[in-house]
Amino acid sequence: MGIQAVYISVKDEVVEKLQQLSSKDLLNELEEIQEKTNRHIDIGKIWDGLHFILTGVSSSEPIEDNELSEFIVGTYVILEDEFIGFSSKEDVKRILNKINELNFDHFKKDFNPTLLAEQNIYPNIWTEEDKGILFAELKTSFEGLKTFYQKSIDLNIIVTIY
């Protein structure tokens, strides 16, 4: 197994509850929420590559007040050690406005898997031989996450990377 990114849309009261929990209880609660709702998306292991394509840096270096970075890692940290964050419904709208300005195909001309490998972008899959497949996977994840944000426009989004 590896590190996966899961996004869950929730109401205000859920975020408030989550912020009050211990780390163990928080992880259990998030798993339970994910099992009970269809308001989530799992983009698998491609999240760090997607962050790098959008921002030029790894998600381990999130960019404050940058909608493209926040699209992947969220706006606020709930639990740093486990990488759990969230974006408020106001942030979701702001982030989505920026994301809607993008045409992901624009990134294709500069897509360089060797650079991602050199920068140690997770996961260790970035090869020139698979360039087309990798870009297609990044685009699919981007479009899926964008659609998820659009469906969640009036909710908060919890970001869990585990």
The tens place of each residue's pLDDT in the chain, 162 residues long, gives: 359 999 999 999 999 999 999 988 999 999 999 999 999 999 999 999 999 999 999 999 999 999 999 999 999 999 988 889 999 999 999 999 999 999 999 999 999 999 999 999 999 999 999 999 999 999 999 999 999 999 999 999 999 998
pLDDT at 2: 56
Q: What are the structural domain ranges in the chain?
A: 5-161
pLDDT at 1: 38
CATH class of this structure's domain 5-161: alpha beta
pTM for the structure as a whole = 0.94
Determine contact, residues 110/127, Cβ cutoff 8 Å.
no
d(CA 154, CA 53): 27
